[in-house]
Amino acid sequence: MRAYPALETPFAATPVTLERAEQITRLLRDLVRCDAVLLSASNPAGERSQHQKLTSDGYSEDAVSQLLENFIPETRNPGFGVVRNRVRQALRWADLDRDWDVHFAFTPLAEEYLRPAGFNEGISASLWLPGGHHVGAIHMNWLGERSATEEARRIVEQFLPVLAAACDPSQPYRLLAEELHGDANVAVIAAGFDQTIAGRELGKTLQSDGPLWPLLLPLARHGDSSYIWLDGQGTCHRISITRCVQNTALVAEREVLPPYGLTPRELQIATLLADGVSNPEIADELVVSRRTVSTHVEHILAKLGVSSRAEAAALVTREGLRLIHSS
């Protein structure tokens, strides 16, 4: 599934996301008594799948940089190759040595950045949402090998779902969708951001390879708005756009009955009315007679229950009846 194009800026963790990550990581660290911790999120705006730091403590800046750069699907680190690509559990250096014949302590990452800092044991885990979407990683290290107990490993594993939720960049959008749009199909428009929202349906209409999605970006630039879109079969869809943080937008779609019983042609003309287009200009644009346009306008006014073009334009704008079209 292709991502939507960028609005203006790439995805970045919000202050709420950073605060939640800090709180959860601090609680986990207090339980397992580690000497360093790094919680990172997969960066959907990056050219490759390098993570971005959400919170860390106890590591040097160089160590953090190396942990972020190494924890990618194409990693050359044999330990991270197992943890990132082959298992969905938390593994210590000892687990990798015993069960996978991977001597993590002798990898370049450990020899150049971790062991010189005094770390003699560590644990890493890839973070996944229930639907199978990778969202981040947790890394922890201890000065003493004996401190990294099996009980500590089990505690880390119990925290993995909570940590994954904290790293999920779509969580704020899911909460907003639940608050504003109920069970409507929803998607996110953002720079490099996967358009799907974990736990929510995308639906056929919002597929990125469908005819609607190229029309959404310019509409999203205008701010919060609502429209009507007609698919190839003439079925009406209500499209609602809500601007969010970091120049992203939440798009909601649901199939609806034609508003006020307006026909596709009447919706088209009502949209032009709301845009201030005159009857002669409408006739020229639609390549129909002026009499035909006048007849359509009369029908539109009657169906909307208004007595003038100005009232019709105001109602169309107020209730989001403008038709999305490709021109």
Average pLDDT, the chain: 89
Question: Of all residues in the chain, what percent carry a pLDDT higher than 70?
Answer: 91
User: Residue 10's beta-bridge partner residues?
Assistant: 191
On the 0-12 / 13-18 / 19+ scale of CB atoms within 10 A, 287 is exposed
Report helix, strand or coil for 125.
Answer: strand
Q: What is the pLDDT of residue 267?
A: 96
pLDDT tens-digit map of 69-126: 999 999 999 999 999 999 999 999 999 999 999 999 999 999 999 999 999 999 999 9
Largest CA distance in the chain: 89
Residues 79, 60: Cα–Cα separation, whole Å: 20
Q: What is the pLDDT of residue 173?
A: 83
Which whole number is the average pLDDT over 137-146? Answer: 96
DSSP 202: -
Higher pLDDT, 299 or 7: 299
Q: What is the pLDDT of residue 61?
A: 96
Q: Which of 132, 112, 23, 14 is nearest to 67 (CA)?
A: 112
- Look at domain 171-318 and name its CATH class: mainly alpha
Angle, helices 279-286 vs 290-304, to 10°: value is 110
pLDDT above 90 for 8: no
DSSP 5: P
pLDDT tens-digit map of 177-230: 989 999 999 998 876 556 788 778 889 999 888 899 888 888 887 778 999 999
Tell me yes or no: is domain 15-167 CATH 3.40.50.720: no
pLDDT above 70 for 13: no
Which whole number is the average pLDDT over 56-71? Answer: 95
pLDDT tens-digit map of 240-282: 999 887 678 899 999 999 999 999 999 999 999 999 999 999 9
Domain with CATH 1.10.10.10 in the chain: 171-318
pLDDT above 80 for 127: yes
Domain with CATH 3.30.450.40 in the chain: 15-167
**Contact assessment for residue 63 and residue 55, using Cβ atoms and an 8 Å cutoff:** no
pLDDT band at 49 (very low <50, low <70, confident <90, very high): low
Q: What is the pLDDT of residue 327?
A: 53
pTM over 0.75: no
Which whole number is the average pLDDT over 157-179? Answer: 88
Sheet holding 249-256, edge to edge: 185-189, 249-256, 236-243, 225-230
DSSP 324: P
pLDDT band at 18 (very low <50, low <70, confident <90, very high): confident
DSSP 222: T
Q: What is the pLDDT of residue 243?
A: 87
Burial 260-274 (b: 16+ CB within 10 A, else e): bebeeebbbbbbbbb
Q: What is the pLDDT of residue 3?
A: 40
Q: What is the pLDDT of residue 106?
A: 96
Q: What is the pLDDT of residue 191?
A: 61
pLDDT above 90 for 132: no
> Which of the residue ranges 124-133, 159-168, 216-225 would you say has the lowest mean pLDDT?
216-225
User: Residue 251's beta-bridge partner residues?
Assistant: 187, 241
Residues 50, 3: Cα–Cα separation, whole Å: 17
Radius of gyration in angstroms for the set of CA atoms belonging to the chain, rounded to a whole number? 27
pLDDT above 70 for 4: no
pLDDT above 50 for 166: yes
DSSP 323: B
Residues 237, 229: Cα–Cα separation, whole Å: 5
Residues 303, 29: Cα–Cα separation, whole Å: 64
